[in-house]
Chains A and B, each alone.
Chain A
Amino acid sequence: MTRKFLALSAFLGLLVAGPALAASSQAPLKHVQWSFSGPFGSYDQAQLQRGFKVYREVCSQCHALNLVSFHDLGQPGGPFWDPKYPNPNDNPYVKAIAADYKVADIDPDTGENMQRAATSADHPPAPYANDTAAKATLGGAPPDMSLLVKAREGGPDYVYSLVTGYAPAPQGLVVPPGKYYNPYMLSDLASSWKGTGPAPVGGIIAMPPPLTAGKVSFDDGAPSTLDQEAKDVAAFLTWASDPKMDQRKQTGLAVLVYLAIFSGLLYASYRRIWRNVAH
């Protein structure tokens, strides 16, 4: 009895003590059933392509994607992965997308600064040269989006909730001009709250509502609703922050099957070796 209890408590200790609870100054996130949820979930390639389009046409005006290079788009699990092109640098979509961008370089003949067409090895050029330049124009530095989903509690649910969750500011909340109230923005509003009762959940965000119905038209016939755009871009950003997820889950399955068989064999060996020892 005691031993069972100890085993249980040791295991619970790991689970209970793991996550730190954040302060609840944020509305409960909307939960979306993602194609990549759960141990067998994987990315929906069509959704990643739509999400990339949303990023390219909307988000990239302000947000960089510095850790993703064009050839990543053609890696297994990526939005433009094609088994015909195991080397994504040969993938025509990847090459065409890269060629649409100009990146800074040094002229090899003169040493002057120059612009050239991007190759698949390049990253999408950042919209601002640095955070200071972004702040000077926008009043705040938009975060790089490469790891946004991993860097926020709730991940894709957070991105989806925030983008679709803009709401009129509650009466009594002082929102500076050019800023917006968003109940899903994790923050403490006590200092901006002049109303009665406790301060509302959420925060003040510098980003105007980025997506609206009809803002991005999809080539595959998916409706260009706010909901669709938000889900697709959240899925794309999840891929951007965890591009090896499909590979990880597939490898994991093989590893677990192997380990289960291996453990079974070891247990059988253990029983056989100990069969004549009273212990």
Chain B
Amino acid sequence: MSGPSTYEPKTALERWLDQRLPILRFNAELMDFPTPKNLNYWWTFGAILAFCLITQIATGVVLAMHYNASAGGAFNSVEHIMRDVNYGWLIRYIHANGASMFFLAVYIHTFRGIYYGSFKAPREVLWLIGCLIYLTMMATAFMGYVLPWGQMSFWGAKVITNLFSAIPLVGPAITTWLWGGFAVDAPTLNRFYSLHYLLPFVIAGLVGLHIWALHVPGNSNPVGVNVKSKSDTVPFHPYYTVKDGFAISVFVILFAVFVFYMPEALGHSDNYIPANPIVTPPHIVPEWYFLPYYAILRAIPNKLMGVAALGGAIACIFALPWLDTSKVRSMRYRPQAKIYFVFFVLACLVLGVCGAHEVDDQIISGLAGFPLGDANINSYVWLSRIGALYYFIYFLVITPMLGLRETPLPVPESISTPVLSHPAAAPAGATAAPEKKG
């Protein structure tokens, strides 16, 4: 933790404990942690993500008490949870929709980091740990989706594990090793279950490192200038516990709407058909949070190059601190970067839509279009190619070049400067609408 500790043990017991295990001191420092006072609601997604992780682990532990990780019993044990276990339907729907909520929050959190330059020095390690958390989340979610052992579980597992077979020379051996046999079968399900239970605790450990790495330089903030004086900060508690708490509560409302009123909206009906290795579903689609990557994968006709592009898309996020050459942290003062960023978010959404469609589907139905290369121009494969091209250009060309060429707006002296010069900082307005500022 940064800065000298202000913790004073108050009782004899606390003094005794403080000399042996300063856990109360540690907690007090966490609570008092000086936090920039201008963090906006985009910064609440860190706390929302912690909430998501705890929810997933808590519901997952209960589900594991009733789940039967065998190829013959998995499907029916999930239905046993839905029908016979007290509030089993609630626990399972929280867990299944919780995965989607977790990814929604992690995507917002990541886009926030990109927009406000939270990955820039001295927060590169913080960013890398965040990327590792995201990668581990993807593995966990993928393996969790396999566990109900429905048709989409089985065929999704087959498609994704088959990607590794594209690696030259060792690919097929890796795939066999992942499967634990020569096809997706009972051993695959058992190892995925084991790893699905293990990885969330790896994520929890990484989250610990993420918060540690956050507390060394302290939070970034929407203005992007470093904390200069004590007047720029407020203690984390109660200022941000209450703000994060409010944001979590609003987030849980959205979560509850899905759990109670549209619990199957983000799933796929084929997953209520038990896994059948000899019947291929007409459309194999991953969960929504993988769709942009799925689109990038299918945009390239060559399997190896497609897998390489998929890996490259994730690698770009890892490399961002070294791709961005701009000295200005927040895009609030980079008008051109802001526009490219909006198009980047759009490209990710377009890729997501493309991932949900068959590559040959018409974008505008009925429009004949014309063939371009290997596909019609009016098809999702071309749209995903455009999206994927922009995705990579954004990271590999725009981000490095723009930092060298653009003229940023003047950056405020300190965090407090724009706050105090803000019209609403006048005495009457200071309490009028604090949530809209900063």
Contact = CB atoms under 8 A, between A and B. Distances in A.
A31 interface: no
B383 interface: no
Interface stretch (B56-64, B161-169, B258-266): B258-266
A270 B252 contact: no
A155 B266 CA distance: 15
A251 B90 CA distance: 9
Interface in B77-136: 79, 82-83, 89-90, 93, 100, 104, 107-108, 111, 115
Nearest to A22: B283
A9 interface: yes
A275 B431 contact: yes
A108 interface: no
A12 interface: yes
B252 A150 contact: no
Q: Report, as a range, how many residues of chain A touch the other chain.
A: 35 or more
A274 B349 contact: no
Contacts of B291: 17
B8 interface: no
Contacts, number: 158
Contact of A252 (B250, B261, B352): B261
A253 B261 CA distance: 9
B377 interface: no
Contact of B437 (A10, A188, A279): A279
Contact of A273 (B242, B261, B269, B356): B242
A129 interface: no
A243 B272 contact: no
Contacts of A248: 89-90, 93, 260, 263
Nearest to B40: A3
B268 interface: yes
A278 B430 contact: yes
B50 interface: no
A244 B422 CA distance: 53
Given A150-B264, A244-B83, A259-B249, A279 B89 contact: no
16 contacts: A2-B338, A9-B345, A12-B349, A13-B348, A18-B265, A21-B357, A143-B273, A151-B273, A248-B93, A249-B261, A252-B260, A260-B253, A263-B246, A270-B242, A278-B420, A279-B38
Given A270-B435, A278-B419, 4 more contacts: A16-B353, A147-B273, A252-B259, A269-B242
Interface of A: 2-3, 5-6, 9-10, 12-14, 16-23, 39, 67, 72, 143, 146-147, 150-153, 155, 186, 188, 241, 243-244, 247-249, 251-253, 255-256, 259-260, 262-263, 266-267, 269-271, 273-279
